[in-house]
């Protein structure tokens, strides 16, 4: 990991650290010294022989001053974040996680109790993984560092790879290496001899408790929380921002520009991609926002960002170098754009990630409205969708009345009448949806079939369909994997990627804002839409509709896919693992590239990305 200047961050180290805990029952060393770091990572380590407590902290501590005031007597304050973390554990034990604010991977070894505590920040900005090997417990933010440690198997998780191709990610702790476990975002794991406990320590809407919904007068606090979220990013060095033409990045850019000016900091650098497809080209808005905010801008044509060999070939090549299978098809373009920012001195790049999850309203609101017989509310909701999406009125009503409305309600009714039979049917349908080319190996097939329904949503969610679906952003493994992927890109480029809409304090509020307030003014993202529209009155934000690059993605697959598929040849790596049937996958990909069912084009990328990664693993 690259060393960076960051006022509230401890020194970061290169190539990933590994913290190793010896088995204290057999270790000759004192328990307080049982937790040791790999060479070069000692800057992250703090220990106290008196308390026999050792801590590791990698990340950024937001409330350093408050913690120091709470934990120390008048006099010299602790020099590092990790010293504060150790003191916090000595004061509060595992409840320190309710006091520490920031983005981090945190480890504490309590030698007196022989307990190892490992925790990841509330929304998973920093990764954290662990493994067992040769009587030791190993922890790291880097999967490669773990599987590169003697005694940790490099065997791939065949079942996870097969599930990936089915678009079923059922195990939050699971990784693509059989021996490596993930600590999910907002979770902590406690290891005590052979006992293990995993729990969620941060949750804005804990299941089984009444939801503390935000009321309209409370919305006045949104602006302050948003300011705080952006300001935390501005303190970490010269800032850039991925500026698209959407509300998420534009709202962040406006606050960042104003606050940087007020704090006497350099104006953020606007980093924008210009897409060649008119459906997703937002260049006039991108240039207009940057100009009106007086932001210096890098406006990079998409073709320049991906190079002469094209996006798909670049993405497949990048996937082969990734520590785990790469999800984001667009990474090569944004990596090149970010590198321009780094060349211009950026130490942190802000993104609009999280805006869709927390400013948006899940379509399963329709089921709650129908169940409540709120005809007026349903009509208003569909009208809001019509003003916000370029879709036909028929398609929007069909989605609201059936897909996200009546169908889940029917499932709920059947779940009450015959819960076991209905669950069994849902599982059978999931198993039947497995692509024909996946899991020819009987052992792999039995495994993915056995766990197909492990994460089925409750057909009768106690708090309603809207809130249940909204929790997907907190709990789904893809959210963790996406954060880990962004972290990896930052490590490669030597820059932090920061996401104000994934700030824990802000999300705690946004997750509890009712849909009618999120959609203020009868449009999606109304909470920020009208502020942005008033700030940029000539750019049409009051009428702005969601821009999607789906058709552009399909065009790239259709045009670039055949050559890349021929160059890849037979997927020998996945075949050898028993994850795919070579002949079936060839027939499927060939049919898709020939124009059969464009809605399934994503499967071409799935196979190419996984095969490229497996060959290098």
Domain end call among 422, 444, 469: 469
Domain end call among 152, 171, 200: 200
pLDDT of residue 240: 98
DSSP string, 504-516: HHHHHHHTTS-HH
- Verify that 186 and 232 share a domain, yes or no: no
Using an 8 Å Cβ cutoff, are 84 and 71 in contact? yes
- 573-606: pLDDT as tens digits: 999 999 999 999 999 999 999 887 888 989 999 9
Per-residue confidence band for 10, with pLDDT thresholds at 50, 70 and 90: very low
DSSP string, 520-580: GGGSTTHHHHHHHHHHSTTTTGGG------HHHHHHHHHHHHHHHHHHH-S-HHHHHTTSB
- Verify that 532 and 588 share a domain, yes or no: no
pLDDT of residue 299: 98
For range 218-223, the mean pLDDT: 94
Measured distance CA(72)–CA(78) in Å, rounded: 8
pLDDT of residue 34: 54
Using an 8 Å Cβ cutoff, are 152 and 133 in contact? yes
Measured distance CA(480)–CA(443) in Å, rounded: 27
- Verify that 184 and 68 share a domain, yes or no: yes
- 85-96: pLDDT as tens digits: 999 999 999 999
- Verify that 146 and 236 share a domain, yes or no: no
Residue 497 is assigned to a structural domain of this protein: no
Domain end call among 543, 561, 594: 543
- 438-491: pLDDT as tens digits: 999 999 999 999 999 888 899 999 999 999 999 999 999 999 999 999 999 999
- Verify that 411 and 526 share a domain, yes or no: no
For range 264-272, the mean pLDDT: 97
Range of the structural domain that residue 581 is part of: 551-616
Residue 284 belongs to a domain with what CATH number?
3.40.50.620
pLDDT of residue 343: 97
- 276-304: pLDDT as tens digits: 999 999 999 999 999 999 999 999 999 99
- 414-443: pLDDT as tens digits: 999 999 999 999 999 999 999 999 999 999
Instruction: Report which of residues 1 and 397 the model is more confident about.
Output: 397
pLDDT of residue 170: 81
- 444, 450, 455, 456: CA torsion to nearest 10: 130
- Verify that 33 and 142 share a domain, yes or no: yes
pLDDT of residue 112: 87
Measured distance CA(68)–CA(108) in Å, rounded: 18
Nearest Cα to 270, choosing from 238, 233, 301, 242? Answer: 242
Residue 384 is assigned to a structural domain of this protein: yes
**What is the DSSP secondary structure assignment for residue 133, as one 8-state letter?**
E
- pTM equals 0.93
Residue 406 is assigned to a structural domain of this protein: yes
Q: In 10 A of CB 141, how many CB atoms?
A: 25
Residue 347 is assigned to a structural domain of this protein: yes
Residue 87 belongs to a domain with what CATH number?
3.60.20.10
- Verify that 141 and 89 share a domain, yes or no: yes
Mean residue pLDDT across the chain: 91
Using an 8 Å Cβ cutoff, are 417 and 136 in contact? no
- Verify that 353 and 400 share a domain, yes or no: no
Residue 209 is assigned to a structural domain of this protein: no
The structural domain count of the chain equals 4
- Verify that 414 and 509 share a domain, yes or no: no
- 28-85: pLDDT as tens digits: 334 334 577 776 565 676 665 556 788 899 999 999 999 998 987 776 777 788 889 9
Q: In 10 A of CB 376, how many CB atoms?
A: 9
- Verify that 33 and 151 share a domain, yes or no: yes
Number of residues that make up the chain? 617
Q: What percent of the chain has pLDDT over 70?
A: 93
Residue 6 is assigned to a structural domain of this protein: no
Measured distance CA(126)–CA(4) in Å, rounded: 15
Measured distance CA(238)–CA(5) in Å, rounded: 10
Measured distance CA(489)–CA(334) in Å, rounded: 10
- Verify that 220 and 320 share a domain, yes or no: yes
For range 532-549, the mean pLDDT: 90
Q: Which residue has the tokens 């999967």?
A: 143
- Verify that 86 and 187 share a domain, yes or no: yes
Residue 346 is assigned to a structural domain of this protein: yes
């Amino acid at each position: 990991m690259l060393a960076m200047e960051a006022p509230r961050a401890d020194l970061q180290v290169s190539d990933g650290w590994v913290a190793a805990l010896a088995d204290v029952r057999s270790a000759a060393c004192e328990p307080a010294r049982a937790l040791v770091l790999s060479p070069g990572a000692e800057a992250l380590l703090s220990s106290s022989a008196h308390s026999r407590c050792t801590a590791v902290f990698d990340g950024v501590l937001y409330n350093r001053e408050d913690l120091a005031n709470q934990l120390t007597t008048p006099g010299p304050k602790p020099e590092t974040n990790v010293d504060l973390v150790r003191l916090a554990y000595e004061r509060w034990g595992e409840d320190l996680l309710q006091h520490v604010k920031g983005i981090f991977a945190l480890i504490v070894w309590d030698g007196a109790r022989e307990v190892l505590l490992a925790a990841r920040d509330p929304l998973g900005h920093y990764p954290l993984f662990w493994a067992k090997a040769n009587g030791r417990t190993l922890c790291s933010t880097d999967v490669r560092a773990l599987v590169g440690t003697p005694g940790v198997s490099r065997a791939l998780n065949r079942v996870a790879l097969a599930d990936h191709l089915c678009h079923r990610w059922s195990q939050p702790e699971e990784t693509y290496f059989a021996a490596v476990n993930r600590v999910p975002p907002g979770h902590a794991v406690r290891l005590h001899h052979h006992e293990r406990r995993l729990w969620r320590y941060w949750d804005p809407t804990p299941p089984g408790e009444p939801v503390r919904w935000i009321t309209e007068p409370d919305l006045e606090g949104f602006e302050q929380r948003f300011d705080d979220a952006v300001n935390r990013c501005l303190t970490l060095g010269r800032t850039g921002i991925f500026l698209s033409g959407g509300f998420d990045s534009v709202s962040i850019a406006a606050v960042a520009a104003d606050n940087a000016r007020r704090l006497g900091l350099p104006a953020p650098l606007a980093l924008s991609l210009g897409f060649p497809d008119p459906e997703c080209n937002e260049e006039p808005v991108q240039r207009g926002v940057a100009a009106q905010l007086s932001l210096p801008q890098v406006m990079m044509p998409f073709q320049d960002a991906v190079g002469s060999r094209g996006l798909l070939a670049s993405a497949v090549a990048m996937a082969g170098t990734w520590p785990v299978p790469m999800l984001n098809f667009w990474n090569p373009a944004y990596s090149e754009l970010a590198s321009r920012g780094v060349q211009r001195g950026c130490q942190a790049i802000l993104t609009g990630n999280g805006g869709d999850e927390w400013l948006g309203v899940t379509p399963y609101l329709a089921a709650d409205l129908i169940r409540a017989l709120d005809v007026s509310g349903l009509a208003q909701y569909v009208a809001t969708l019509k003003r916000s999406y370029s879709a036909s009125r028929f398609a929007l009503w069909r989605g609201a009345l059936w897909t996200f409305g009546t169908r889940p309600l029917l499932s709920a009714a059947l779940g009450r009448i015959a819960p076991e039979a209905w669950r069994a049917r849902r599982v059978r349908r999931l198993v039947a949806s497995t692509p024909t080319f996946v899991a020819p190996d009987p052992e792999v097939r039995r495994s993915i079939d056995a766990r197909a329904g492990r994460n089925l949503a409750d057909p009768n969610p106690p708090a309603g369909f809207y809130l249940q679906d909204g929790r997907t952003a907190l709990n789904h493994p893809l959210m963790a994997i996406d954060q880990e992927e962004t972290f990896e890109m930052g490590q490669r480029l030597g820059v932090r990627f920061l996401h104000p809409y994934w700030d824990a304090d802000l999300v705690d509020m946004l997750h509890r804002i009712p849909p009618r307030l999120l959609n203020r003014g009868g449009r999606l993202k109304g909470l920020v839409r009208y502020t942005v529209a008033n700030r940029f009155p000539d750019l049409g934000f009051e009428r702005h509709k969601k821009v999607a690059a789906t058709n552009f993605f399909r065009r790239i697959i259709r045009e670039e896919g055949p050559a890349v598929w021929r160059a890849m040849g037979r997927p020998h790596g996945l075949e050898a693992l028993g994850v795919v049937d070579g002949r079936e996958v060839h027939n499927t990909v060939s049919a898709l590239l020939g124009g059969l069912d464009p809605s399934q084009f994503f499967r071409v990328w799935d196979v190419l990305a996984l095969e490229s990664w497996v060959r290098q693993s």
